[in-house]
A and B are shown apart, each in its own frame.
Chain A
Amino acid sequence: MRKRVFNQIILIVMAFIISACNNVSSSNSTEYQVIEKYVSNAISEDGVVVTPFNTTISLTMYNSKDTNEYFPLFEEEVLKLHKYFDRYNYYQDNTGKRISNLKVINDSYGTNEEILINDELYDLLNLSLEMTKLTKGYFNPTLGGLIDLWSDKFFLIPLENTDPDNDLITEALKCSASKENIDEVIVLNPIKKSVIFNKIDGCNGKVIISLGAIAKGYAMEKAKSLVKDVPSLIDGGRSSLIATGTNPNPNRDTWNLAILTPYTAINLGVLAIKGELTFSTSGDYEKCFYIINDDGSLTIRHHILNPSTGYSENYYRSISLLSDGNAGVIDALSTALFNVNDIDIIDEIVKNVEDYYLLDIEFLFEKEIIIDGKKMIDVIVNENFWNLIVADSISSVVNIVNILE
């Protein structure tokens, strides 16, 4: 009898072991899981902890095997590129030697020193010069001095603040290159992969190169090449996105992206896209403040500065761009277009960029209007972009849709 009891207990225990084994096998390394991992901070030469690209960059993959294989490579690449593109800090390489990064280039302003730089920094500077010309100067990589006047005033949400002194803004504008002279200010040598940072006549201070509007997208694009076709989302600070591969979500095969309105918790709609995509959005509702005008009305000041005026523009509340690649270009373009009020010029700039980089770019602009005291959104959008929006997802705050062919 004892033997029988023992056998029955053994059977019960085995049943539980089998059950436990089933649980283990169901959570194997290729099982569908949404895993988002963030790039860690960099450490500067002075020991300062620095957030890469001053934002959060993450890689989302859909099983632990892919995450474990690709995230370390992704993180290493993003950190490396951040160190070269950072204009605030020095960094050292593995041998303890200071690397020739953007801060080193800015230090050389006006000295006529030729700085040898790595391929990626060279490419990024070259891309910045190209984008300056293709966007008719609405994108400008030499606004560092102007940005520094404004950046401490911006807040995550709109709070009251005051403009910088207008005289300082005027002086800062004198220390920025134009689309006409930028090739003479930032002189690149494609053979030697070097740069000479020349003086601008009439600038009493320093010209400072700032690649904040393009560097993060460029880095994401470079990091994308490591991920290849493995399904993933590369998120650059919630303003840029690259999707690779096909969404492995068991419920759908499209990547579904929300398009924001300026209003908290209200999405304009949802984009549903199959396969690889590059998306960038710029809005005036983060990194901003407001001023109170003499008549009591409010004007929003935000982080996208017009290279011509030195102030931010209020033509749009938000711009979203969708493309089939080149996140650096798309980020720079969304920044540039925020300063353009004329739809014909927008069309011309977008076409310039499409032709030059062989891209298909769709855009959506949101303008705020007030009807009977209620805030609504006018939308200006490409037909192709509009067709990708899930019809029943469109918000009731949308007033008019101007669809451009």
Chain B
Amino acid sequence: MDISLRKNKTDLFIVIIAAILVVFFVAINLFYSNSKDNIISVYYDNEIVHTMYLNIDEEYIMDKEEFPLLLDRMVIEVKQGRVRIKEEESPKHYCSIMGYQSQKGTSIICAPNSVMIIIEGYEDTGIDWTPGGAA
């Protein structure tokens, strides 16, 4: 069998390049899917205006000047894998009373301010619907 050292070096070079590419794409894919699983979409007047991540602590401030349907300034906080409306103006402050949410598929709806926060994704808990009781 005719084995050429020169050819082996080339093959080795190709294998290394391929391995680097594979590691690179796998890393990118893992990072992307991880981020996607943790996406929090902030809706204002039914449009996504900001995206946050459960795994990245952040405070997002919405001002009335930019979002005129707000009753006043609103602060949305992501902290330690949970999201809440930290500050807002609404009748009896229902929106901030709801506190932190962290489960995929759940939402915080602040109708008086036309704001909705959805933790994207779905987590099958075995229950399709849980009532709230205020008929």
Find chain B residues with CB under 8 A from A314 CB. Answer: none
Selected contact of B105 from candidates A36, A243, A259, CB within 8 Å: A36
Query: What is the CB-to-nearest-CB distance from B8 to chain A, in angstroms, rounded to a whole number?
Result: 12
List, in ascending order, chain B residues with CB within 8 A of A41's CB: 45, 111, 114
Select one of B10, B18, B112, B122 contacting A51, CB under 8 A.
B112
Cβ B135 vs Cβ A282 within 8 A: yes
Taking CB as reference atom, which chain A residue is nearest B106?
Answer: A36
A276 within 8 A of B: no
Q: Which of A5-13, A115-123, A177-185, A222-230 contacts B (4 or more CB under 8 A)?
A: A5-13
A258 touches B135 (CB 8 A): no
- Residue of B whose beta carbon sits closest to that of A259: B131
Q: When the two chains form their complex, are residues A281 and B133 in contact, meaning their CB atoms are under 8 A apart?
A: yes
Picked from B10, B25, B116, the residue with its CB within 8 Å of the CB of A4 is B10
Contact in complex: B128, A260 (CB < 8 Å):
no
> Given A36-B105, A157-B97, is A258 in contact with B127 using a C-beta cutoff of 8 Å?
yes
Q: Which chain B residues lie closer than 8 Å to A16 at the CB level?
A: 21, 25
Q: Is the CB of B126 within 8 A of A270?
A: yes
Task: Using A49-B69, A251-B124 as known contacts, say yes or no to A238 and B133 having CB atoms under 8 A apart.
Answer: yes
Chain A, interface SS category: mixed
The reply to whether A38 and B114 form a contact with Cβ atoms under 8 Å apart is: no
Name the B residues within 8 Å of A260 (CB-CB): 130-133
Contact mask B46-87 → A, CB, 8 Å, 1/0?
100000000000000000000001000000000000000000
**Once the chains bind, are B130 and A49 in contact (CB under 8 Å)?**
no
**CB–CB B128/A255 < 8 A:** yes
Whether B27 is near chain A, meaning CB under 8 Å from some CB there, is no
A residues 223-272 near B (Cβ < 8 Å) are 233, 235, 237-241, 243, 247, 249, 251-252, 255-260, 267, 270
- In the assembled complex, which residues on chain B have CB atoms less than 8 Å from the CB atom of A238? 130-134
Report the bound CA distance from A156 to B98 in whole Å.
Answer: 9
Please, which residue of chain A has its CB at the minimum distance from the CB of B68? A49
- Asked if B124 and A156 make an inter-chain contact with CB atoms under 8 angstroms apart, the answer reads no
Residues A40 and B45 in contact, CB atoms below 8 Å apart: yes
Smallest Cβ-Cβ distance to A288: which chain B residue: B134
Contact with A along B1-25 (1 / 0, CB 8 A): 0000001001001100110010001
Q: Report which B residues bind A (CB closer than 8 A).
A: 7, 10, 13-14, 17-18, 21, 25, 45-46, 69, 92, 94, 97, 105, 107, 109, 111-112, 114, 116, 118, 122, 124, 126-135
Question: With contacts A8-B14, A33-B122 known, what are 14 further pairs, Cβ within 8 A?
Answer: A8-B18, A49-B69, A51-B112, A213-B135, A237-B135, A240-B135, A243-B129, A249-B128, A256-B129, A257-B129, A258-B127, A281-B131, A282-B134, A334-B135
Return 29 A-B CB contacts under 8 Å, by A number.
Answer: A4-B10, A9-B14, A12-B18, A12-B21, A16-B21, A36-B105, A36-B107, A40-B46, A40-B114, A49-B112, A49-B114, A156-B92, A156-B97, A233-B128, A233-B129, A238-B132, A239-B132, A239-B134, A239-B135, A241-B131, A249-B124, A252-B126, A256-B126, A256-B129, A257-B131, A270-B127, A283-B133, A285-B133, A286-B134
